[in-house]
Amino acid sequence: MFQADLAIQASMTTAASALQVLPAPTSLPWVAWTKACHQDYRDNLQPTAIAGVSPTELEGVVNMPHIVETLQKHLPPDTVLTNGAGNYASWIHRYFRFHGLAKGHKTQLAPTNGAMGYGVPAGIAAAITTGRLAFTITGDGDFLMNGQELATAVQYGAKTIIMLLNNSMLGTIRMHQEREYPQRVAGTDLRNPDFVALAKAYGYVGQRIIRSEQFEAALLAALARPEGTLLEIMLNPELISTRCTLSQITQSAVERDADQR
């Protein structure tokens, strides 16, 4: 809540008419601030090396900034992007450039209450109701909650492309565990099904991605085919966020607890 510096009691029509004839200010006090905010946004789009991790330490890891860059390059401009709740969504939230309402339509469906399992059914609903391509980013735990909705998509002829990041754990909860109770893992490891086979059982095409260079061809094929596609990306569990590794979170918590003793 805020308290207005200047309260105006008027109808919208009257207020707009009065404001229209006011002379434009010669300077705006927030210009430098808005420029700095915009530059921060642009800087944040640039992939950053994870501090303290050598390039060879995570060899074989899928390069997620590169994956998102490929999405930006090939997804149609009116694609509806959907996600549930989880650290996996931060890759899209940080690196994908949404155009908002500038082109006359919205482009993202995501939970405002942090609900897991939202992205897959939201994408299918969007595909059915709008006829636009729906692209969903989901995690393995997130997909297990509502992945059966692929049956709905196939039944109603809805095409979605699902990018499933599989790190064999409930990543966000595990991150909180390591941050608050380091090295005391409880209930966050997952023994996952074969997601590719599961997608095929529902009538989707399934493909597993283990290297970044596999992704672009797989995405183009998914865009070209009439049926839906699930692309399972095998993600190193250490890549828990766009800025640090899981081990770094654990180590920081261990050091904190040692200092408090």
> Would you state the pLDDT for residue 53?
66
Cβ contacts of 113 within 8 Å, gap of 6 or more? none
Angle between helices 215-224 and 64-74 (to 10 degrees): 30
SS3 128: helix
CA 165, 168, 170, 171 torsion: positive or negative?
negative
User: Domain coordinates of the chain in residue numbers?
Assistant: 52-256
9-21: per-residue pLDDT in tens?
Answer: 999 999 999 999 9
φ and ψ at residue 31, rounded to 5 degrees:
-60, -50
> Would you state the pLDDT for residue 55?
56
Closest by CA to 158, choosing from 120, 112, 188, is 120
Question: What is the pLDDT averaged over residues 150-156?
Answer: 97
Q: How confident is the model at residue 93 (pLDDT cuts 50, 70, 90)?
A: very high
Query: The pTM is what?
Result: 0.87
Closest by CA to 207, choosing from 222, 192, 226, 225, is 222
The residue among 51 and 74 whose pLDDT is bigger is 74
Q: How confident is the model at residue 51 (pLDDT cuts 50, 70, 90)?
A: low
- Using only C-alpha atoms, what is the Rg of the chain? 22
What is the CATH number that goes with domain 52-256?
A: 3.40.50.970
